[in-house]
Chain A
Amino acid sequence: MHWQPVIGLEIHAQLATRSKIFSGAATAYGATPNTQACAVDLGLPGVLPVLNAEVVRMAVMFGLAIDAQVSERSIFARKNYFYPDLPKGYQISQYELPIVTGGHLEVTPETGAPFTVRVTRAHLEEDAGKSLHQEFQGLTAIDFNRAGTPLIEIVSEPDMHSAEQAVAYMRKVHAIVRYLGICDGNMQEGSFRCDANVSIRPLGSTTLGTRAELKNLNSFRFVERAIDFEIQRQIVLLESGGTVAQETRLYDEKRDETRSMRSKEEAEDYRYFPDPDLLPVVITEDFIEAIRATLPELPDARQHRFKQQFGLGADLAGQLTASRAMADYFEATHGLVASDDAKLTANWITGELAAHLKRQQLSFDACPVTPEMLAGLLTRIADGTVSGTAAKQALAAMWDGQGDADSVIEAFGLEQMSDSGELEKAVDVALAANPSQVQQYRGGKTKVLGFLVGQVMKASGGKANPRQVSKRIKDKLDDDAP
């Protein structure tokens, strides 16, 4: 039987506020345990929550960015359960009336057709503290620094049908929250994570199968692997006559498998009810319009503009605009290059420079090669001063902090062979050294031209201009035709 996976995501994005959602304590990551938790975060007797207005602004931005309904009136509710790192014995969240409902996103995966994901709702809530089991043998310690950190939970409809689609959607949401500046998107620090609801059904069926919820996936790779594992697990189970249990499962990245955490029967009754300590959040049309006016250009719009304005293909424009920092870098660089060849700029940024950044796990914000420096190099490529090969060397040198483009070209002697006599000589030497290839070329096997060009390039130490070399060889051999 053919099976269709059905996947919905609940993405938790930590909102990039300076203070917590209901208190004045700082949200900075990595502080000494329990130094950023005030009486309100600790749930001491008598304290009360006061909503951080910045959190509301950010949620509205997100709602507008996904073309959703921003609720005129939304309500905070208490989600009641006991856990040692949940200070009050309840989490303040939103339940019946969330701040954002009914949005959608168009997603274009790396391979496969574009698809739409409907966003059911996005609601505000506070994060809990963190239990530390490993560091203290036989004991549990709790760090409450994270307690009260603002989160927006973005709940999708089950509109995805492969792990790849789920990851593409998650990347899209990631790009949007980063574009909006409402989340730093740092997945290692847990600022952006998700739960995945996964079920399978016979292809063509419209009813949903029983789902498993995969908890707390904090990298794109884990999302993909956990979902793939889970789909396979469910297929094997169903095909061997078993049934899928509705349960919560954890992904173990070391073993690359998911395992049961708790079943539906063990699921908590959260006893949600409106939090009497907080007033309903009332959002006026004026407030929404004021925020709309501050929205930055979003990935889709920017991709469209890049195609129009710079004549870039959908692929390259898509790659560039996937991250706001990269798109900003591109625009800054291209404005400084003394050439209209936007594709050249785009290729260097998405290719060579992105590779450097990836090796060091840096983002474009932290790139040691500034747009000015890269623009200097691209200008030299465009005016023929350096070849592509030599430019890669130049970029590596700039990356290592050895100066701007002109100075590294000079210092490493990377300028192309411009003296035609020298080039002539190099071509002659190469042809003389490879008589059989010359013979083949003349016999109509023009494919060997590449080999001959390569020989000249090698002899010149990469300094020759391959296009000129190719032209010269052709001129020579075609002229001498018998």
Chain B
Amino acid sequence: MHDKSVVDLQRGLQAREFSSVELTQSCLARIEALDGRLNSLITVTGERALAQARAADRRLARGDSGPLTGIPLLHKDIFCTRGVVTSCGSRMLDNFVAPYDATVVQRLDAAGMCMLGKTNMDEFAMGSSTESSYFGPVHNPWDLDRVPGGSSGGSAAAVAARLTPLATCTDTGGSIRQPAAMCGITGIKPTYGRVSRYGLVAFASSLDQGGIMARSAEDAAFGLAAMAGFDERDSTSVERPVEDYPATLADSLAGLRIGVPKEYFDQGLDPGVAARVGEALAVFERLGAIIADVSLPHAPLSIPVYYVVAPAECSSNLSRYDGVRFGHRAREASNLLEMVKRSRSEGFGTEVKRRILVGTYVLSAGYYDAYYLKAQRLRRRISEDFQKAFENFDIIMGPTAPGVAFRLGEKTDDPISMYLCDVYTTGVNLAGLPAASIPVGFVDGLPVGLHLIGNYFQEARLLNAAHQYQQMSDWHLQMPRAID
């Protein structure tokens, strides 16, 4: 059962081959059996999942079901869930129970999905390995000694290990695509504004975007279709109809213009990864796509620009964690100031503190122009590069990450090398574009991801291209060896 695609599960549920309760129970049993080794979940919500499964079975019996009714999923622990702890991977929020559901949670609930639990993540989504979680690191199901990538490492590992067919995730600088690549699954980060941020605990508001992880592009298409859309509670969400993503998956790629930026094949790229990407591009060529080089001259500035903009917003977004109204409060402080200081010192981990400090610095009087303002100007240049490229190309492709999954602890003392994991992904967030990662082979038994970047609101085209590739390959069907 755990290896079935969303489409297979839909069919099985509709045909009453199995019930949603049975399906949900089998997922919960698999979580119970395997997650001890992965640590991909922070919270398991078995009762809630089963209650939703029973309701879904009633809907299925009435014939009042949609494509996702009765199908289980996991939410990244950054999405607020009413009545269930939303920790964001932090000690600061390990007792926080939101009185509301995130819009994403609400929509997937309404679609009839069954929430199995909440996935582990880098603290406040700050990290590229899921090692900064207060709840311990997540292990990569392909090699338990290695990281799953991050920050949505819990969601990626859980999908790869077949604990769930779908998992929500978020991407501020690569947090969907990089772990998807490292775990050998499909992940899509939509256009900024396509999925509501309401109830998504903010890291960097102008970059954060919710998305979906699945084993295949087809499964992801169903998930994204249910999540996306305008939300009046998020001023930055865009009022624009949502395409029927599954409907265009079968479209031909003949004549699709694919641009390959030379800047993405720099010295930092693992030659094995480069080889897999080259092979994948050859498959697209066989599918009728036209492939040519393109230049994104400002791409090398993405990391420095990102590490000014994101910490700046983070330093402000995380100011609300003062121990006054919710979250961790230090005990026995003798005055207000001391309470706030100690609560924050105890509640936040090292990487979060580092980014708050950097962000506070770049916004300070005397430094604002040199850092924040300059970064915003360069951010526009990075965007303009993409727009110029999209004049001649439909999709930009390259490696998702410069290397495969690294060993636990390998980069924890070297923040810069950790930041460079996102060297190809952060530009997309700075520009607000949609992008996906799909598995395209292995290096030393570890998955490699192909990065597909589209123009604004071209999610349907990205999923279509990814799906067509997956019709010609079976990388997305491979099971991780380290478990089972």
Which A residues fall within an 8 A CB radius of B? 39, 42-51, 78, 80, 82, 84, 87-90, 140, 142, 269, 271-273, 276-279
Contact among B102, B312, B327 with A273 in the assembled complex (CB-CB below 8 Å): B312
| A80 with B324: CB separation less than 8 A | no
Least CB distance from B356 to A in Å reads 11
| A84 with B360: CB separation less than 8 A | no
Q: Tell me the complex Cα distance, A285–B201, Å.
A: 37
Chain A residue contacts of B86, Cβ below 8 A: 45-46
When each residue 77-88 of chain B gets 1 if its CB lies under 8 Å from chain A and 0 otherwise, what string results? 001100000101
Contact among A42, A46, A140, A276 with B198 in the assembled complex (CB-CB below 8 Å): A46
| B235 with A51: CB separation less than 8 A | yes
Q: DSSP majority for the A interface? A: loop
Chain B residue contacts of A278, Cβ below 8 A: 235-236
| A269 with B98: CB separation less than 8 A | no
| A43 with B325: CB separation less than 8 A | yes
Q: Tell me the complex Cα distance, A49–B205, Å.
A: 12
| A271 with B320: CB separation less than 8 A | no
Taking CB atoms and an 8 Å cut-off, the chain B residues in 192-234 that contact chain A are: 197-202, 204-206, 232-234
Q: Tell me the complex Cα distance, A39–B336, Å.
A: 23
Q: Tell me the complex Cα distance, A87–B200, Å.
A: 18
| B96 with A45: CB separation less than 8 A | yes
Q: Tell me the complex Cα distance, A394–B96, Å.
A: 67
| A45 with B320: CB separation less than 8 A | yes
| A-B contact list, 7 entries, CB within 8 Å | A39-B98, A44-B325, A45-B93, A48-B197, A48-B234, A89-B319, A89-B321
Chain A residue contacts of B322, Cβ below 8 A: 82, 84, 89
| A46 with B199: CB separation less than 8 A | yes
Q: DSSP majority for the B interface? A: loop
When each residue 90-102 of chain B gets 1 if its CB lies under 8 Å from chain A and 0 otherwise, what string results? 0001001011101
| A45 with B88: CB separation less than 8 A | yes
Least CB distance from A109 to B in Å reads 38
Least CB distance from A364 to B in Å reads 41
Q: Tell me the complex Cα distance, A45–B86, Å.
A: 9
Q: Does B370 contact A (CB under 8 A)?
A: no
Q: Does B364 contact A (CB under 8 A)?
A: yes
Contact among B96, B320, B363 with A87 in the assembled complex (CB-CB below 8 Å): B320
Q: Does B365 contact A (CB under 8 A)?
A: yes
Q: Does B340 contact A (CB under 8 A)?
A: yes
Which B residues fall within an 8 A CB radius of A? 79-80, 86, 88, 93, 96, 98-100, 102, 197-202, 204-206, 232-236, 312-313, 315-316, 318-322, 324-327, 336, 340, 360, 363-365, 368, 372
Chain A residue contacts of B324, Cβ below 8 A: 84, 142
Q: Tell me the complex Cα distance, A44–B101, Å.
A: 12
| A273 with B93: CB separation less than 8 A | no
Contact among B98, B198, B326, B336 with A84 in the assembled complex (CB-CB below 8 Å): B336
Least CB distance from B342 to A in Å reads 13
Contact among B202, B236, B312, B364 with A46 in the assembled complex (CB-CB below 8 Å): B202
| A82 with B319: CB separation less than 8 A | yes
- Given known A-B contacts A89-B316, A89-B322, A279-B236, A39 and B99 have beta carbons under 8 A apart: yes
| B233 with A50: CB separation less than 8 A | yes
Residue in A closest to B336 when the chains form the complex, CB atoms: A84
Q: Tell me the complex Cα distance, A74–B61, Å.
A: 53
| B336 with A90: CB separation less than 8 A | no
Given A80-B316, A89-B320, A276-B236, 8 more contacts at CB 8 Å? A44-B99, A44-B100, A44-B325, A46-B98, A46-B200, A47-B198, A142-B324, A276-B206
Chain A residue contacts of B88, Cβ below 8 A: 45
Least CB distance from A389 to B in Å reads 63
Q: Tell me the complex Cα distance, A273–B309, Å.
A: 11
| A39 with B100: CB separation less than 8 A | yes
| A271 with B198: CB separation less than 8 A | no
| A48 with B198: CB separation less than 8 A | yes
Least CB distance from A141 to B in Å reads 11
| A80 with B236: CB separation less than 8 A | no
| A90 with B197: CB separation less than 8 A | no
Least CB distance from B311 to A in Å reads 12
| B100 with A88: CB separation less than 8 A | no
Contact among A43, A48, A78, A84 with B233 in the assembled complex (CB-CB below 8 Å): A48
Residue in A closest to B204 when the chains form the complex, CB atoms: A276
Q: Tell me the complex Cα distance, A271–B316, Å.
A: 9
- Given known A-B contacts A89-B322, A277-B236, A44 and B316 have beta carbons under 8 A apart: no
Chain A residue contacts of B96, Cβ below 8 A: 45
Chain A residue contacts of B313, Cβ below 8 A: 276
- Given known A-B contacts A46-B202, A82-B340, A142-B324, A273 and B232 have beta carbons under 8 A apart: no
Chain A residue contacts of B232, Cβ below 8 A: 50
| B316 with A43: CB separation less than 8 A | no
- Given known A-B contacts A43-B325, A84-B324, A90 and B316 have beta carbons under 8 A apart: yes
Contact among A44, A45, A90, A271 with B364 in the assembled complex (CB-CB below 8 Å): A271
Least CB distance from B115 to A in Å reads 16
